[in-house]
Chains A and B, each alone.
Chain A
């Protein structure tokens, strides 16, 4: 009833008023566009937080083996190793609020946004905005080393999850969560190779959840502050953390039983070195 009354009113607007009415609509539309379409977004406005990853071995910077033999390291048990390739997925980032609850950015099933493929040979893949979060103080971050089960068994994905990226098993469905290739004189494999391909979903998924408290300096997510977390990834932890690995015995890992050992260790590779609460550059207001 009310609706039909209003329709009636609009229809009987005098011609001059109609012009004013029309320009009012245009103005409202323009304003909502200029305000960044916030109007149409659900939830509060969010701001980006960045991650910078540096691979290390213990306290030393880590380098990939370029064939010169300079980048050779020792495991805690004294085995020697060098790495020619190290890639892994990080996903499902969450920020911990001071009340202990978590903020997780919504994932879009149609895009690979929020799934990061870190390639130690590619600096660009080691520094990225990992989350957009509402303004506030956060005291910890959490993420998955690997890909969650829903996405691991979905259809063909794009972007970082494109199976053509070479981090997809060829003989069964699912992503390789972490892939390390290198050499060790102790390895009994042909050419003394080290080949660790860790992955596998289902109820015994090898994706490992990592929680890291940020320490005394909280993450101050603000419209004018973009926090940066500097993450150290200790490659030697792969061989000595939850499980101690001897490269003479464990040098070629593909199956899920051995993969679980490496996955457990991989969860211990990550530590926050320090945090910057940097002024947000004007160019990247979200």
Chain B
């Protein structure tokens, strides 16, 4: 295994060249090609038609060693006070890195947080993080859950001590950053190499847009409905405009949302517009996880929107959809599921 890793860069390039040579001649080898692709370190590639990413990897080049270190850190519960909760505990790959069936995040000792753990993908494009946008740099984002008493409840300094004491880590830090020094910047840059290269851009929707795959009549109609009624906030291709809005969940919002950060009256009860990519997988929905199904979400917009001072004006009358529009919209939303991403072995849990 060690030998294999040493050989990896050269070895895989050779394998790639070889497989490309053969791929035209036999269908069997397209599998080999997939295999090779999935063993290359992910890099942040901007899909066609997408905007320039917000996070700049120029100061933090993604390397095989850095990415693998970030992956190990992401899945290592030593990042929590009692070594029980990892990032990956509440961000599960099969749920597009959301937390399946959990309304709000579960922290250390079974304590409940107050907000729903969001899916993680396309983070390099996101200008700020958390439901209230309190964090505005991808590198700094993991500090919030690590130090939050109701999430992982640990201090960065102590995390570093634990990593230093684990014989696997100094070696990996040297491979990634040139020396065995473990410091805050290295820990979070490695995590960023892992999180920031999680790109989800291979859903059926993407293939339809690229002209590679057809949509059913219902899905086409659903896309039309989506563009008419939803896309002003959930704008393509990222399916969010990253704004903060009150979508009418409560007459008197119990959670201040964005106002926690800004203290502005106009921000009371507003939350970040989440991406709808992989939405089928990231249940439950809303900042507090109150809806278990997409049907419930659509019904909220159709006839459940509550008035309040900060309600988004576009939702003042709800969203009027007839039965066929509602059903086709639902069909369309399911085309945003990216099976390639949630099955990509490079992002899978590791403790090797």
Contact = CB atoms under 8 A, between A and B. Distances in A.
Interface of A: 110, 153-158, 162-164, 168, 170-173, 255-257
A156 B139 contact: yes
Contacts of A158: 183-185
Contact of A155 (B137, B156, B160): B137
B134 A172 contact: yes
B31 interface: no
A104 to B, nearest CB: 23
A168 B160 CA distance: 16
Contacts, number: 57
Given A155-B59, A170-B144, A255-B263, A164 B155 contact: yes
A117 B139 CA distance: 22
A102 B135 CA distance: 34
B261 interface: yes
Contact of A171 (B60, B136, B148): B148
A284 to B, nearest CB: 27
A199 to B, nearest CB: 13
A170 B136 contact: no
B189 interface: yes
B143 A168 contact: yes
11 contacts: A155-B188, A156-B140, A162-B185, A163-B143, A163-B156, A164-B184, A170-B143, A171-B148, A173-B134, A173-B135, A173-B137
A33 B60 CA distance: 32
Given A164-B160, A171-B134, A173-B136, A156 B185 contact: yes
A157 B140 CA distance: 10
A173 B134 CA distance: 6
B51 interface: no
Interface in B132-172: 134-140, 143-144, 147-148, 155-157, 160
A173 B135 CA distance: 5
Given A155-B60, A164-B156, A256-B263, 16 more contacts: A153-B136, A155-B59, A155-B189, A156-B139, A156-B185, A156-B188, A158-B185, A162-B184, A162-B185, A163-B140, A164-B184, A170-B147, A173-B134, A173-B135, A255-B263, A257-B263
Contacts of B138: 155
A174 to B, nearest CB: 9
Contact of A163 (B134, B184, B261): B184
Contacts of B155: 164
Nearest to A255: B263
Contacts of A172: 134-135, 144, 261
A258 to B, nearest CB: 10
Contacts of A153: 136-137
Interface of B: 59-60, 134-140, 143-144, 147-148, 155-157, 160, 183-185, 188-189, 192, 261, 263
A164 B139 contact: no
Contacts of B140: 155-156, 163, 173
Secondary structure dominating the interface of A: loop
Task: Pick from A153, A156, A168 the residue with the most CB of B within 10 Å.
Answer: A156
A164 B157 CA distance: 6
A172 B263 CA distance: 13
Given A163-B143, A170-B143, A257-B263, A154 B137 contact: yes
Nearest to B156: A164
B117 to A, nearest CB: 16
Contacts of A157: 185
A39 B110 CA distance: 62
Contacts of B189: 155-156
Contacts of A256: 263
B348 to A, nearest CB: 26
Contacts of B144: 170-172
A173 B140 CA distance: 7
Contacts of B134: 171-173
Contacts of B60: 155
A286 B147 CA distance: 40
Listed from nearest, the 3 A-B pairs whose CB atoms lie closest are A172-B134, A155-B139, A170-B147
Task: Pick from B134, B147, B185, B188 the residue with the most CB of A within 10 Å.
Answer: B185
Task: Pick from A154, A158, A173 the residue with the most CB of B within 10 Å.
Answer: A173
A186 to B, nearest CB: 26
Contacts of B185: 155-158, 162
A155 B189 CA distance: 9
Nearest to A154: B137
Contacts of A164: 155-157, 160, 183-184
Nearest to B135: A173
